[in-house]
A and B are shown apart, each in its own frame.
Chain A
């Protein structure tokens, strides 16, 4: 698998830009009963004055073992070999909701025709070298589209940066 959508939980503020950009890219209109491919969640913990609030943006993770693909009786859900995206062919979908039962993350949604709807990784964009719309829009770059190793590299350099800053602060205090 090449690049994947990754969310940096430390950065996500739940602004919803990714949700809207996805709707713009994919012509999703909530007023027509069309479900969003991304959703924002807020998790609160603790009590005043020590409360904390965590936001996150969730969508299909295009997982490797893809239970939705295995569970789909008509072959509507398939994996695209080149991008690793799990895509749905709506003409083959019979609305049986097997994918809903199979998916451990609660991703599959259904429109008014009862056809499965979900993120397709903006596969047409990815194929021509563009980022998925949700990643491109993110105002704080919490969403990233990278290979797993590149993501680890980014994480590591951030960690090293923190050490450098701490050393620098200690040195200037003397």
Chain B
């Protein structure tokens, strides 16, 4: 065989083969995890992908999702042109239209609604990915609508709320320097490989690892102590740990006496949470609780790694995480190296060690000059501490009620209606809208219900700005031209701004000028960044001192770290709004609803990550799907399965008071007895139809996806 043929077969880049490596990033999951991509391109087509070795986050590796990028980009489900609905909503009947026709129709309809009902009656929603969010938020507010909504209504924000209520500013775990890492319900091996590698490195240098997780995961397998809680009882576990730390005098007296508010009441409250009582409430043996508390409080410095959604996907989620974050202050691990260190965000929530004008860019109109956000009445604490957006969980309720004002139109970018509890209820509400547009890469179930569908391109076909916590930054350039008639989300947003006649100078200046405007305080520019197609380290990374609160105080009403929240004090001990991090079992649970638990004896725990999927984004790829051939399936502990006479792959029905789905049984020790775990988003078995639309945390509005009650039976 000729050498060139051999090289081509091996996809070896070089002049002989005409295969060129082009740089980009993967944004199949988001954020912090935008792994560097080396795209092997021949004749304008990607023939293979690999991780970029120079990228400091991904260091040449990819996960199963990113490794499947080529199938993602060239999927047969790609939307090819703008589409206009011709059949009934949901029928999937569309006809191709031109970009001009589509964008003009959208602009005309939005402006008509603005004139008749007010700008707030048009809502703007972002699902994945996140790179375009600053521009979409500016579009909404420039249009004078407060209703910029995102999937952060079910992810990340509630965790940040718990931290903000406690400290004012959230502090992330300093993985590089910590001696004791307490991972509170996260499994980065399936969701954030960079953090997983940091844990492995920590273990190599002797770091102690404690993991709280209701499941058995690769992270719990590495733990010195695994506290396998019953789903939703995290608050009781944290309070029992506080009981040990306080009563064994292991807490940081200096920090507590100088920098905290409400300690005495907190100290008294935790007295009832003895390790033995903790065991009853959480299922974690009392001696393990005691050992974990001693370890976390005595190994210095210690950090807590929270998760974006598992703990806050409970009806008591924010209070539970407040109880967890109280431990950070109690042990004096706030804003110190190796503890939970505060780094200000630079762009799209990521602390990139550079100053930017992102906030000024996105909040181009103050909230006070717009109507109240969706969910403002119902989730007042969200309004108190979440500055970025409206609470999308209230969307179906406001569409149905028309109160305090009607919602008439919605444009989604990557919107997936199955994100909501009672997903069919959300869909029914969306059908009531006068006008619904969805922008997506693929023809999804949600797109099928839109009046106009716009084709977006993938990350490798566009330009985007990203920064990384190690002070790395990239402005990507297209590795291939956008496929078919697709466009980047940002281009769509800028086109809409123009056709809506917003006369917004920063939109009129164009996309790259907007990026330059945001980056201005950092001294960086798009022109400079383009010289480094694979990204670069920022030239002058911010050097941040520890204990910044010594100079600035805490950004809380009391100016101190708050064991007792002054924000919540004003709600007068309304159930769920208690000022102390009070533990209340999940709304539907053995403890709260014993009668319901008689009929529905299992805890339904949903949506934990699998390594080959992020939500539904790689469902349609044969490469990722081949890793999990028997889905949709629910995880059930073999002991429960044996008792109920169920075998692997048996068809089973999962029922709640709300509804039922039929799936396969997957017998695994990953779940504990008494718990059924089901992955979300399946078109043919959408587990979110089993939840009521109002099964929500009253503080955050987050759905209780991780603990409802269910029963299972063989079909």
Q: Which residues of A contact B (CB under 8 A)?
A: 11, 13-17, 19-21, 23-25, 29-31, 36, 40, 44, 46-49, 51-53, 55, 122-125, 127-128, 130, 133, 136-141, 158, 161, 164-166, 168-169
Partner among A21, A24, A36, A168 whose Cβ is within 8 Å of the Cβ of B206: A168
Chain A residues within an 8 Å CB radius of B612: 15-16, 20
Q: A11-B200, A53-B216, A168-B206 are in contact. Are A139 and B193 (CB under 8 A)?
A: yes
Q: Are A24 and B189 in contact (CB under 8 A)?
A: no
Say whether B62 contacts A161, CB under 8 Å: no
| Stretch from B138-146, B245-253, B425-433, B664-672 forming part of the interface with A | B664-672
Chain B CB within 10 A, most for which of A14, A16, A23, A168: A16
Also in contact, A24 and B48, with CB within 8 A (given A124-B6, A137-B62, A158-B204)? yes
- Shortest CB-to-CB span from B641 to chain A, Å, is 12
Question: 14 interchain pairs (CB within 8 A)?
Answer: A17-B611, A20-B623, A24-B49, A24-B67, A24-B70, A36-B626, A48-B639, A52-B669, A55-B218, A127-B6, A136-B60, A136-B61, A137-B61, A139-B197
Roughly how many angstroms separate A49 CA and B215 CA in the complex, as a whole number?
10
User: In whole angstroms, how far apart are the Cα atoms of A164 and B623 in the complex?
Assistant: 42
Cα–Cα distance between A156 and B204 once the two chains are bound (Å): 13
Sorted nearest first, the 5 A-B pairs with minimum C-beta distance are A124-B10, A165-B206, A51-B669, A13-B218, A15-B611
Residue B524 lies at the interface, judged by CB distance under 8 Å to chain A? no
Across the interface, which residues of A come within 8 angstroms of B637, CB to CB? 48
Query: With a CB–CB cut-off of 8 A, which chain B residues contact A165?
Result: 204-206
Contact B221 A52 (CB under 8 A): yes
Which residues in B have their C-beta under 8 angstroms from that of A21? 50, 62, 67
Residues of B within 8 A of A137 (CB): 50-51, 61-62, 67
B62 with A17: CB separation less than 8 A: yes
Give the docked Cα–Cα distance between A23 and B196 (Å).
24
Number of interface residues of B (CB under 8 A): 48
Shortest CB-to-CB span from B277 to chain A, Å, is 19
Q: Are B672 and A17 neighbours in the complex by a CB distance under 8 Å?
A: no
Closest A residue, CB atoms, query B673:
A48
Give the contacting residue for A140; candidates B196, B623, B624; CB below 8 A. Answer: B196
Residues of A within 8 A of B60 (CB): 136
Query: Nearest chain A CB to B300's CB is how many angstroms away?
Result: 10
Cβ-based interface call for B443 (8 A)? no
Q: Which of A24, A49, A124 is the one whose CB lies under 8 Å from B7?
A: A124
Contacts A49-B228, A124-B6 aside, 19 further interface pairs with beta carbons under 8 A come to A13-B189, A13-B190, A15-B612, A19-B623, A20-B623, A21-B50, A21-B62, A25-B11, A30-B625, A47-B669, A52-B669, A53-B216, A53-B669, A122-B10, A124-B7, A127-B10, A139-B193, A140-B193, A158-B204
B593 interfacial by beta-carbon distance below 8 Å: no
CA distance A158 to B205 in the complex (A): 10
